[in-house]
Homo-oligomer: A and B are copies of this chain.
Amino acid sequence: MTVLDRNLADMSETRGKIRISEIFGPTVQGEGALIGVPTVFVRTGGCDFRCSWCDTLYAVDPAFRADWKPMSAAEVLDEVKKLSGGQPILITLSGGNPAIQPLGSLIAMGKEEGFTFAIETQGSIAKDWFADLNFLTLSPKPPSSSTSFDKDALAACIDAAQANAMLDGPAITLKFPVRDEADLMFADYVRKLHIGIPVCLQPVNTTPAEPHPDGADGVDIEGLTERYRWLVDEVAKRKWFDVRVLPQWHVHVWGNLRGV
């Protein structure tokens, strides 16, 4: 049984429920086009990928499955409202891969009460409800992740988001973690498949998160910053003036800590 098969099997056991790894905030989004925007994170458990440098293994590795709580859309929204004091806020759906979860009802219910929704997903699985999001970040995983890229799956995600015509769907961003030159070439290849969609590049945090034993030693901030400087130099040299270069700022501020 593959990881994906297992996740699909899980879903049938708890039909309609969302498998939640953690809900936390308000804090700010630390990366991508919404960097610095106040948000509550809803992190789902389970992923169809297993990136070599995954920084949220506790929401990916089935060894942590017992920590993932099946919750209804109403239960998730109640928990978010507790954290936000009842006030509408941006809800960021992350994972794992949140696209394997049944999130359509949560988005519909939340939007009725004034909440806005962003999702972070690798672009391997498309869902109809992508069209109802306010922000869709697609983060195709580059060669250094040791995963394989399915360009048709990514295109299907963009099509799903734009199903109600381009002006009515979410703002889409392609966000590429970059460790090295091969990753940079991958980003360039993929962005050229989807001209017109804004692109962010970010240095990969190669320090795995706790509970990985290396996570406890803290993050190599100087290494991350050096990789950022390298990325800016590469972007300038290649004249990619339409590409944004952003850090995983939350790692600089809070390290690999959970819940921030």
Using a CB–CB cutoff of 8 Å, the interface residues on chain A facing chain B are: 25-28, 35-38, 84-85, 87-90, 200, 225, 228-229, 232, 235-236, 239-247, 249, 252-254
Q: How many copies does the complex hold?
A: 2
Q: Are A245 and B200 closer than 8 Å at their CB atoms? A: no
Q: Which one of B87, B239, B240, B252 contacts A241 once the chains associate, using CB atoms below 8 Å?
A: B87
Consensus secondary structure, chain A interface? mixed
Residues of B within 8 Å of A246, CB to CB, are 35-36
Residues of B within 8 Å of A254, CB to CB, are 229
Q: Are A239 and B36 closer than 8 Å at their CB atoms? A: no
20 A-B contacts, Cβ less than 8 Å apart?
A26-B239, A26-B241, A27-B232, A27-B236, A35-B36, A37-B244, A38-B235, A38-B236, A38-B242, A38-B243, A38-B244, A84-B239, A84-B241, A85-B239, A87-B241, A88-B241, A225-B253, A228-B253, A229-B253, A247-B249
A225 to chain B, nearest CB (A): 6
